[in-house]
Structure 1
Amino acid sequence: MRLFRTNSSKLLSISTHRLWVLVFIITLILLAALSRSKFGDKFAGYGFKSQAPTRVPSKSIGYPPVFAYWICGSKGDGKRILRLLKAIYHPRNQYLLQLDAGSSEIERAGLALSVESENVFKTFGNVDVVGESYPLDKMGSSALSAVLHAAALLLKIGPDWDWFIPLSASDYPLITQDDLLHAFTFLPRELNFIDYASNTGWKERLKINQIVIDPNLYYRENTPLMYAVEMRTTPDAFKIFGGSPWTILTRPFLEHCVQGWENFPRKLLMFLTNVPFPLESYFHTVICNTPEFQNTTVNNDLRFMVWDNPTLTGEPQILKLPQYETMVTSGAAFARRFEEGDLVLEKIDQIILNRSANGVVPGKWCLSGPSKNNTDQEELCSTWGSNIDAVKPRSNGMKLRALLSKLAINGSVRTSQCLEQ
Structure 2
Amino acid sequence: MVLSRPFVEYLIWGWDNLPRTVLMYYANFISSPEGYFHTVACNADEFRNTTVNHDLHYIAWDNPPMQHPHLLTLADWDGMLASAAPFARKFRRDDPVLDRIDADLLSRAPGMLAPGGWCVGEVPAAGANRTGGDDPCAVVGNAAYVRPGPGAARLKRLVTSLLSEENFRPKQCKVAVVEQHIPAKKVEEHIPSEKVEDHH
State the TM-score bracket (shorter-chain normalisation): 0.7 to 0.9
> What is the match of residue 332 of structure 1?
85
How many residues are treated as equivalent by the alignment? Answer: 169
Separation in structure 2 between the aligned mates of residue 356 and residue 264 of structure 1, nearest angstrom: 47
CA-CA distance at 1:264 after TM superposition: 0.6
1:384 aligns with 2:140: yes
Matches within 5 A, 1:3-402: 247-308=1-62, 313=67, 315-369=68-122, 377-378=132-133, 379-385=135-141, 387-402=142-157
State the alpha-carbon separation in 1 of the partners of residues 47 and 71 from structure 2: 34
Is residue 121–residue 138 contact of structure 2 (8 Å, CA) maintained in 1? yes
| 1:410 correspondence with 2:165 | yes
**Contact 1:303–1:336 (CA under 8 A) maintained in structure 2:** yes
Question: Greater strand percent: which structure?
Answer: 1
What is the rounded CA distance, in whole Å, between the counterparts of 2:154 and 2:100 in structure 1?
A: 20
Preserved CA contact (<8 Å) 1:356 1:380: no
Residues 416 and 320 (structure 1), Cα distance of their counterparts in 2 relative to 1, 3 Å cut: closer
Once residues 120 and 52 of structure 2 are traced to their aligned partners in structure 1, the CA distance between those partners, rounded to angstroms, is: 36
Show CA shifts across 1:91-130 (max 9, x none): xxxxxxxxxxxxxxxxxxxxxxxxxxxxxxxxxxxxxxxx
* 1:367–1:381 CA contact under 8 A, matched in 2: yes
Q: Which residue identity is paired with 2:47? A: F
Return the TM-score normalized by structure 1: 0.37
The CA distance in 2 between the partners of 1:294 and 1:411, in whole Å, is 18
User: CA-atom RMSD, angstroms?
Assistant: 2.5
| Cα distance in 2 for residues equivalent to 1:332 and 1:354 | 18
2: CA distance, partners of 1:418 / 1:327: 26
- Structure 1 pair 341–285 and aligned structure 2 pair: CA distance change class (3 A): same
Q: Structure 1's 280 and 250: CA in aligned 2 closer, same or farther, altered over 3 A?
A: same
Q: Which has the larger radius of gyration?
A: 2
- How many angstroms apart in 1 are the aligned matches of 2:171 and 2:132? 50
Aligned equivalents of 1:290 and 1:401: distance in 2? 29
Secondary structure at the aligned position of 1:350 is classed as helix
Residue in 1 that maps onto 2:192? none
Q: CA deviation at 1:389?
A: 2.4
Q: Structure 2: 5+ residue runs without aligned partners?
A: 124-129, 177-200
Equivalent residues of 2:109, 2:131 under 8 A apart: no
Cα distance change of structure 1 residues 412 and 405 upon mapping to structure 2, 3 Å threshold: same
Which runs of structure 1 show a deviation greater than 6 angstroms over 4 or more consecutive aligned residues? Answer: none
Q: Which amino acid aligns with 2:154?
A: K
Distance in structure 1 (CA, Å) of the matches to 2:19 and 2:117: 40
For residues 310 and 324 of structure 1, the distance between their equivalents in structure 2, rounded to whole angstroms, comes to: 21
Q: Provide the rounded CA distance (Å) in 2 between the counterparts of 1:409 and 1:254.
A: 26
In the alignment, is the contact (CA less than 8 A) between 1:321 and 1:344 conserved in 2? Answer: yes
Quote the Cα distance in structure 2 between the aligned partners of 1:289 and 1:298.
14
Question: What is the CA–CA distance in structure 1 between the aligned matches of 2:66 and 2:9, rounded to whole Å?
Answer: 33
CA deviation profile, 1:308-330 (whole Å, cap 9, x unmatched): 278752x3111111111211121
Normalised by the length of structure 2, the TM-score is 0.73
**Which residues of structure 1 form unaligned runs of 5+?**
1-246
Amino acid at match of 1:406: S
**SS of residue matched to 2:98:** helix
The residue aligned with 1:178 is none
